[in-house]
Every structure is written in structure tokens, then in C-alpha cells.
């Protein structure tokens, strides 16, 4: 268990470093950051539509079963 906790902690540290560098990039180029936000929003909408599809598939499987 100790090894697992240690590896998770090291992964968290690397993620923190990445997020810091991303914040610096957003500060230096605001316009690119805004366009990236729009892209992320469109990806979220796609994920929502995929969730609806999976729900409908589950319902059809239940009704057939």
C-alpha cells in the first residue's frame, strides 16, 4: 500500500507542474486560451450526446431482456 500511495503522490506532483505551465501560457496568450475554452465546450457537448446514446442502448437491452 505504501508504494501505491507514493506513486500516486509523485503523479500528483507532476500534474501540478503541468497545470502551472498551462496557466503561464494562458496568461501570455489570452486569445489562444479563449479559443481553447470554446473547443473544450464543444467536446463537452459531444460527450453529453454520447451519454444519451449509451442510455438509450441500455434501455433497449433491458426491454429486450
Q: What is the pLDDT of residues 10-57, one digit of tens each?
A: 555 555 555 565 666 656 656 665 666 666 666 666 666 666 666 666
pLDDT, residue 6, reads: 58
pLDDT, residue 34, reads: 65
- Structural domain of 54: 2-64
pLDDT, residue 12, reads: 56
- Rounded to two decimals, what is the model's pTM? 0.18
CB neighbour class for 39 (10 Å; exposed up to 12, middle 13-18, buried from 19):
exposed
Number of domains forming the structure of the chain: 1
The closest alpha carbon to 1, from 23, 32, 9, belongs to 9
pLDDT, residue 52, reads: 64
pLDDT, residue 16, reads: 59
Amino acid at each position: 500500500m505504501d508504494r501505491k500511495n507514493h506513486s500516486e503522490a509523485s503523479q500528483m506532483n507532476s500534474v501540478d507542474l503541468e497545470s502551472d505551465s498551462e496557466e503561464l501560457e494562458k496568461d501570455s496568450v489570452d486569445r489562444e486560451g479563449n479559443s481553447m475554452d470554446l473547443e473544450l465546450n464543444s467536446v463537452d457537448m459531444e460527450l453529453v450526446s454520447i451519454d444519451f446514446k449509451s442510455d438509450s442502448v441500455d434501455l433497449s437491452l433491458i426491454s429486450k431482456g
